[in-house]
Amino acid sequence: MSIPSRVLVGGGLAAALLVAAACNPPGSRTAASSDTSVAAKSFVPPGEKDEYYLFYSGGHSGQVYVAGLPSMRHISTIPVFAPYSATGYGFDQESKQMLGRFTWGDVHHPGLSQSSGKYDGRWLFVNDNANNRIARIDLRDFKTKQILGPIPNSSGNHGSSFVTENSEYVLVATRFSVPLPKGRYADPSAYKTEFNGMVSGIKIDPKTGEMAVGWQILTPPFNWDLGSTGKGPSSGWAFWTSYNSEMAHEKLEATSTQGERDYAAVVNWRAAEQAVKDGKATMLDGVAVLDPAKVAGVIYFLPVPKSPHGIDTDPSGRWIAASGKLQPVTSVFDFEKIQKAIAAKAFDGEVRGVPVIKYEAVIEGEVPVGLGPLHTQYDGKGNAYTSLYVESAVAKWTLPPWSDAQKKDLNTIISDKIPVHFNIGHLVVGGSDTKEPYGKYLVAMNKLSKGRHLSVGPSQPESSQLIDITGNKMTMLYEAYTEPEPHFAQILKADAIAPIEVYPKAENTHPNAVWDAAQTGVTRSGNKVEVKMVAIRSRFAPDRIDVRAGDEVTIHVTNVEQTTDMIHGLGIIEHDMNVVVDPGETKTVKFIAGKPGVYPFYCTNFCSALHQEMQGYLAVKP
């Protein structure tokens, strides 16, 4: 290339940059890399599988979304706290009973079960912030198996579902204090004296995963926010942040943000477990409750700068990072110092019998990560990643131990920052809450997508962005849009589980399962009609059910298929009924036969070439 033409190109580039600069107001940033080679890093060709599962909480949809990483493709939705006609959840007797009187929930923080501080691929626990519940999803079949709650004495279950290192407990905490026991009236103006918070450990049966309330610790009416569990040196401990240690009850936006620090709870759950065993608990609403004013050593308060949100234990279990939403730092505490402070009684007084640990005695440093820090995740290589809500970015920084020079200026440990779009809440690094994080990918779950997608009107999805964290600098790879609303998520290596794809016939224990058309039938006793039905390509047997108006009809429908993806649905016209039955599964539906008439029923889940023909009649005589 000759010199003049280079100058020309150079000049042209400069002009282009000038034009670009002129188009963007000061402070605006380009959205993301337009380098298409980045696309290859998240490309999973058709027919090939992702390397990781991503379990998104579905927020107030009440469900859990499953996506693959790195493709970010949504794979399926696991209904948990809300009916979901796509899988017939909340229509059959079993799931109806599990949902109880609620038709929604607010899923925030999925937690995978662990053994020895690593994911064991057995269960996924999710909390319901709205109705004080916790649910267990079995990863063998990706189905909700238990919903516990409303949990007594616990209200607004936000600080959940963090799992201890051997799945002994899953954490639960009160965000919205109420007068206890629940159902008791007290004037909200008597908030400080009449209302109480509670932090709880839900015991998990090691074999079945069945949950039951283990211990509860009574607290002042702070708003318990987020938590994490200990490991290594902090094994047997659990941590929660709170806001509103002012114990305000109105206009919280201002009244709860006056103090410079709020309290985190440092809970010795092994001691709490022992105290309950030793009979030191009082029964409240049928649950063993420990009053820390009477039982020492189960809970301590730790001051954290200002209105903290996330509190995250690092993979070693020694460092605990808590971020104050209203202060641009993440405070790093040293659990070894916490233990020493407790032993030496380095306290700054107490609150209602709970010792307050001296902040200066346990703080390792306040890392100036940026504006609006919320949550911190770890890659297991000594790096921490903190979400910055206000700044709309993720900051990468180095965990202690720090050199003296670094301690002098903690700005020096911030190694990278990447903008996200927009207003990130949680972020997740695979296995961050275990002893051995996967590293590799970070998913930023942003609260606002603000027009980054094709316009879908005022009701907007959230945006989730995939970031490569393998290099020194973070790289934005991909973004996807998720229905409202992912809060936290969990990442699980695909080969950590081997889900079944059909329910083996031999395992079906439903008392009314039938496997052959010859065994099906309709029986009546009084005004109750019971139907044993099979569904198979491409017919129902029986395909005619005769009842009288007002009869109570029970149908046990067995999908006798044993082939992957041969799913049948049973939808009954004008009866608000749709049950979907997986291969080898039996489901029971119960309903009152409507007005006289003939109501067709049909297979709702496309099954076969003659799916349209798979139908029958519910004939209702006067």
Partner 1 sequence: MEIVVKTRALAFASFLDRPVNGTGRLLLLLSIVALLAGGALPLWRISLVAPQYAEGLTLDMYAYQIVAGNNGQDLAEINTLNHYIGMKPIAQADFLEMRVLPFAIGVFALLALRAAIIGRIVTVVDLAVLFLYFGMFSLGSFVYRLYTYGHHLDPQAPMKITPFMPVVVGSQQIANFVQTSLPLAGTICMGAFFMLLVAVLVSSAREARREVV
Q: Which parts of this chain interact with partner 1 (CB under 8 A)?
A: 502, 536-538, 561-563, 609-610, 613
Classified as helix, coil or strand, 234 is helix
User: Minimum Å distance from CB 290 to partner 1?
Assistant: 51
Nearer to partner 1 by C-beta: 82 or 502?
A: 502
Residue with Cβ nearer partner 1 (11 or 504): 504
Dihedral sign (CA 233, 235, 236, 240):
positive
In the chain, the amino acid numbered 310 is G
Report the residue number, 76 or 562, with the smaller CB distance to partner 1: 562
Nearest distance from C-beta of residue 143 to partner 1, angstroms: 21
Of 74, 94, 170, the C-alpha closest to 128 is 170
Alpha carbon distance 357, 375 (integer Å): 22
Q: What is the token pair recorded at 262?
A: 């709020």
CB 464 within 8 A of CB 486: yes
Nearer to partner 1, 462 or 561 (CB): 561
DSSP state of 162: P
As a whole number of angstroms, the distance between CA 269 and CA 603 comes to 50
CA 465 to CA 20: how far, in whole Å? 25
* Those residues with Cβ within 8 angstroms of residue 82's Cβ, 6 or more apart along the chain or in another chain: 61, 62, 63, 90, 99, 103, 104, 105
Kindly tell me which of 39 and 606 has the beta carbon lying closer to partner 1: 606
Other CB atoms within 10 Å distance of the CB of residue 132: 25
**Strand residue runs (E) in 161-271:** 169-173, 178-179, 195-204, 211-219, 223-229, 237-243, 261-268
CB nearer partner 1, residue 445 or residue 541: 541
| Residue 399 or 541 having the CB closest to partner 1 | 541
CB of 555 to partner 1, least distance (A): 22
**Closer to partner 1 at the Cβ: 103 or 564?**
564
- Shortest spacing between CB 537 and partner 1, in angstroms: 6
Q: How far is the CB of 43 from partner 1 (least distance, A)?
A: 22
Least Cβ distance, residue 565 to partner 1 (angstroms): 9
For partner 1, the closer CB: 141 or 336: 141
Residue owning tokens 């107490």: 350
CB nearer to partner 1: pick between 49 and 352: 49
Q: How far is the CB of 546 from partner 1 (least distance, A)?
A: 25
In sequence order, which residues have a C-beta less than 8 Å from that of residue 570 and are 6 or more positions away? 533, 535, 540, 555, 557, 577, 578, 579, 580, 581, 589, 601, 602, 603, 604
Buried b (16+ CB within 10 A) or exposed e, 547-579: beeebebbbbbbbbbeeeebbbbbbbeebebbb
CB 579 within 8 A of CB 531: no
Name the minimum Å distance from CB 610 to partner 1: 6
CB distance 70 to 466 below 8 Å = yes
Cα separation, 479 vs 419, whole angstroms: 13
Write out the E strands in 23-79.
Answer: 52-57, 63-69, 74-79
Our CB check for partner 1 shows the closer of 46 and 457 to be: 46
Residue 215: CA count within 13 A, CB half-sphere: 25
User: Minimal distance in Å, beta carbon 560 to partner 1?
Assistant: 9
Q: How far is the CB of 598 from partner 1 (least distance, A)?
A: 24
| Smallest gap from residue 170 Cβ to partner 1 (A) | 35
Judged by beta carbon, residue 7 or residue 610, the one nearer partner 1 is: 610
Quote the radius of gyration of the chain (alpha carbons, Å).
Answer: 27
Helices (H) and strands (E) in the chain, counts: 8, 42
CB 602, min distance to partner 1, A: 17
Residue the block writes with tokens 């129902």: 540
CB of 563 to partner 1, least distance (A): 5
CB closer to partner 1, 19 vs 609: 609
Which residue, chain included where needed, has tokens 């090691």? 206
What tokens were used for 343?
A: 């032993």
